[in-house]
Amino acid sequence: MATAKPVGRIPLMAGNWKMNLDHLQATHLVQKLDWTLRDAKHDYEAVEVAVLPPFTDLRSVQTLVEGDRLHLRYGGQDLSPHASGAYTGDISGAFLKKLGCTYVVIGHSERREGHHETDEVVAAKVQAAYRHELTPILCCGEALDVRKEGRQVEHVVAQLRAALAGVSKEQAASIVIAYEPIWAIGTGEVATPDDAQEVCAAIRNLLAELYSGDLADGVRILYGGSVKAANVAAIMAQEDVDGALVGGASIDPAEFASICRYRDHLTAS
């Protein structure tokens, strides 16, 4: 049974829409999500909710969130390691900040694979996020072959050591880390709560080693990979899991709202 988590670790449910929904669909989704959560009298101080839409949707999301004073937070799915200049197609953290973004996803496995992002690139993007006062949601996770060899902890720890090189203690205090085993992403094959806990605990131990136990106790570590309303409560019951990075289920507003309301599932069962 999970022990109570430190108060600073407010659970975070973040919806990574990936390359789904144009800016009109984004507006509809955010409105539906807000209505559903409002109906349920969702306490955003108790469970934070964020959406991570494609870049082209961000201005519409900002207009809605600011105009209607919604409690949702939002962010980008990537950023350039550079502030400005001749980098065709890239997006500066400065632009994301100007659009009111709180978060930026860095080092998602789909970018590490599809865009050949190395640990060094990921580390440079983490620095860029801090320069622009964005909170990184730093992703890590092992492929199936690594898991089959039982090397998941070693692999994730190595990824994070590289990404955190140059991150000061002050910066690290605000980071969000997302453990997303690649074999569980978009496959419907969710990690067991014990699998998630094993790696999330190892991540917290690494933070304690690199910074301090107190700092590690306050950092939010999310799990991602086939999270649905039906499995989120068991994962959230794990001591070192402080939220979820949700892909497919986050583009269905009713399902995502239900994920955000995971505490209702606990009282219902």
Ligand X SMILES: O=C(CO)COP(=O)(O)O
Q: Rule CB under 6 A: is residue 75 a binding residue for ligand X? A: no
- Distance of alpha carbon 246 from alpha carbon 237, whole angstroms: 17
Q: Rule CB under 6 A: is residue 8 a binding residue for ligand X? A: no
Which amino acid does the sequence have at 228?
A: K
- Distance of alpha carbon 176 from alpha carbon 174, whole angstroms: 7
Q: Rule CB under 6 A: is residue 225 a binding residue for ligand X? A: yes
Which amino acid does the sequence have at 74?
A: Y
Query: Among 62-70, 143-151, 191-199, 218-226, which window interacts with ligand X (CB under 6 A)?
Result: 218-226
3-state SS, 140-166, equals: ECCCHHHHHCCCHHHHHHHHHHHHHCC
Residue among 94 and 140 whose Cβ is closer to ligand X: 140
Residue 68's CB is within 10 A of a number of other CB atoms, namely 11
User: Could you tell me if 50 and 98 are in contact, meaning their C-beta atoms sit under 8 angstroms apart?
Assistant: no
The response to whether 93 counts as a known ligand-binding position is no
Catalytic residue numbers read 108, 180
How many chain residues bind ligand X (CB under 6 A)?
Answer: 14
- Distance of alpha carbon 29 from alpha carbon 199, whole angstroms: 32
Site string (33-72) toward ligand X, x via CB under 6 A: ----------------------------------------
Site for ligand X in 132-151 (CB under 6 A): none
Residues that bind ligand X (CB under 6 A): 16, 108, 180, 185-186, 224-227, 245-249
Binding residues for substrate: 16-18, 186, 226, 247-248
